Amino acid sequence: MTGLRESQLLDAVDLLLDARRTMTPIDDLPSELRPASMDEVVFVQDRMQEAYGAVGGWKVGASSRDATPAAAPLPLTMIAHSGAARGGRLRGLEAEIAFVLKTDLPARAQPYSDEDIYAAIGTCHPAIEILESALVEPTRPEAKTTMLADLQMHGGLVLGPGCPFWREVDFQREHVTLAIDGMIRIEETGSHPTGDLLHLLRWLANEGAARTGGLHAGQWITTGSWTGILEARTGSSVDVHFSTIGRVGFRFS
């Protein structure tokens, strides 16, 4: 990367952070500042992450079992536990399932086996990803690379109590409801787009290590939406209930 290009991407970082901080979204970055490759997307993500502080984990997801997954860092300061009150402009919501690591999975040449990954996981948790964006319309196809660079719309992760027997769960039969202000807005069964959460964990630990530099004990990994994106209003309470994994909720302040 040339010095000029790095300077342009740092300008992009500043614009995205400022739009989030002031809750004044932009249509898109100026054309000369938009990331032109996944390497440039990762550069912007990493500089934004540095502005927020320590890495608390990773979000990983894929649109289908055959699609290549994508990952983005989760700032530690954006992770909270059930019952918290959170602010935000976009107030987007996704019901997810997250895992916390109890041992490191450092980057290495030999791929980790499924049992290696199982052994590194502590517990499994119901989660709500709060979506935020520096963009007015972040899902607009023309703004895709900017959306990806903007922490893939990440604005917060709210976690429920851990489920210690998660290895016994049939995720293809797991049932989920998402309620806003006491009214169920979506109800699904087996609705995760890959149908296989271990596939995403395996990718993140192995192929994804070039992105993450390895995974560490205490980090959270959230594995993508079971409900699509819903939006709430200021003051709304949100409740997600997975039939086996458990319940998580919070309120928008």
Query: The CATH number of the domain where 92 resides is what?
Result: 3.90.850.10
Whether 46 is covered by a domain: the verdict is no
Kindly indicate the confidence band of residue 140, based on its pLDDT and cuts at 50, 70 and 90: very high
Tokens 């990806």, residue located: 148
Domain count, the chain: 1
Residue whose C-alpha is closest to residue 196's, from 95, 88, 93, 65: 65
Q: Is a pLDDT exceeding 90 seen at residue 164?
A: no
Residue 138 lies in a domain: yes
Does residue 18 lie in a domain region? no
Distances (CA, A) of 156 to 31, 151, 188, 250: 28, 11, 23, 12
Q: How many CA atoms lie within 13 A of 253 on its CB side?
A: 5
The model's pLDDT over 55-94, given as tens digits with 9 standing for 90+, comes to 999 999 999 999 999 999 999 999 999 998 888 899 999 9
- As a whole number, the mean pLDDT across the chain is 96
Q: Is the pLDDT of residue 53 over 90?
A: yes
In a domain, 31, yes or no: no
d(C-alpha 182, C-alpha 234), whole Å: 15
pLDDT of 183: 98
Phi and psi torsions of 120, nearest 5°: -85, -15
Task: Assess whether pLDDT exceeds 90 at residue 119.
Answer: yes
Q: Give bridge partners of residue 230 from the DSSP assignment.
A: 93
DSSP H or E segment with residue 40: helix 38-52
Under 8 Å between Cβ of 223 and 197: yes
Evaluate whether residue 165 is within a structural domain.
yes
Is position 25 within any domain?
A: no
Q: What is the pLDDT of residue 87?
A: 86
Whether residue 148 has pLDDT greater than 90: yes
Q: Reply yes or no on whether the pLDDT at 31 is more than 90.
A: yes
Q: Is 2 contained in some domain?
A: no
Domain coverage including residue 199: 54-252
Tell me the two tokens of residue 63: 């649109």
Q: For residue 17, is it within any domain?
A: no
CA distance 110 to 198: 18
Length of the chain equals: 253
What's the rounded Cα separation, in Å, for the pair 138 and 189?
27
- pLDDT score, position 15: 98
Q: What angle do CA 229, 234, 235 make, to 5 degrees?
A: 110
For residues 99-117, give the mean pLDDT: 97
Question: Which pLDDT band, with edges at 50, 70 and 90, does 113 fall under?
Answer: very high
pLDDT tens digits, 171-221? 999 999 999 999 999 999 999 999 999 999 999 999 999 999 999 999 999
